[in-house]
Amino acid sequence: METSCLFCESPAGSKEHLWAAWIHERKDFGPLKVTIGGSPKEIRNDPEQKIDTVCHKCNNEWMSRVENKTKPVIACMFEDLTIPLDRQQQTLLSNWAVKTAMVLDSVKNPESNARFYQKPECVTFRQRRIIPDRIRIWIGRSSLSALGAYGTDVAIITPEGSPLGVGTATTIVIGHLAVQVMAMRINSELKDKSITDVQPKPGDWDNMLVQIWPIARDSVMWPPKVTFTNSGPRSIATLMDRWRIGKAI
């Protein structure tokens, strides 16, 4: 069955690279072996990873422009240089993270009706770079230079156990940069109610992460005060696992 591109109506499936061309030059990433939710996992570490859910035109036109605009910022953090990010840079990096999260979600769920990010929001993002509501994005530093991404889907429930909606957290490690995109969708019958954003498991997040979306400060510094290690109580696995609070779906 031919499926359409995640971001437009053209046929998908032209086997495009997930990571930008400049990442392919680098092959010296350490393995990212983590324990998440009690089970050991090895996060994929493949610069050549291919995707087949977008079309050649999207990949080579607007997605490539997003990559190229963001490269100077990502390359600094990739190489572990301390940098400030102004509002424009926070927006560029957020756009890159949302694009990557949407693509990863589509790869994880080849059937389009099983995806978290719905087609209209992906199309609107392509056309106008509008980041869907209820998305929050943070950046941190990984002590190990790695390459990979990890997704957690969660059901959002009240303390009494009634369902409020669904969420998905995408954690991307690219060099020393760790990015996390947390997206929530509230059930439609609750749309008009004020529902506060779900909070992660307790942790030293304020010292380990800097929020870049929604933009909270005109300028933020990377890296944050505290770095994610490869193992132990401040490991990158705790970041990947911090939304596993409700019932996993």
98 binds Zn ion (CB under 5 A): no
Kindly tell me the sign of the dihedral angle through the C-alpha atoms of 163, 102, 85, 30. positive
CB of 57 to Zn ion, least distance (A): 6
DSSP assignments along 200-235, one per residue: -SSSSHHHH-EEEES--SSEEEES-SS-BBSSSTTB
Among 7, 78, 125, 222, binds Zn ion (CB under 5 A): 7
Among 5, 23, 36, 63, binds Zn ion (CB under 5 A): 5
Looking at the Cβ atoms of 4 and 187, the one nearer to Zn ion is: 4
Taken as a whole, the chain contains a residue count of 249
Which residue, 10 or 88, is less far from Zn ion as judged by CB?
A: 10
State which residue, 55 or 179, has the beta carbon closest to Zn ion.
55
Q: Are 85 and 73 in contact (CB under 8 A)?
A: yes
Smallest distance, Å, CB 83 to Zn ion?
32
Does residue number 55 form part of the binding site for Zn ion (CB under 5 A)?
A: yes
> Closest CB to Zn ion among 51 and 208?
51
Q: Are 228 and 208 in contact (CB under 8 A)?
A: yes
Beta bridge partner(s), residue 168: 153, 183
Sites of contact with Zn ion (CB under 5 A) = 5, 7-8, 10, 55, 58
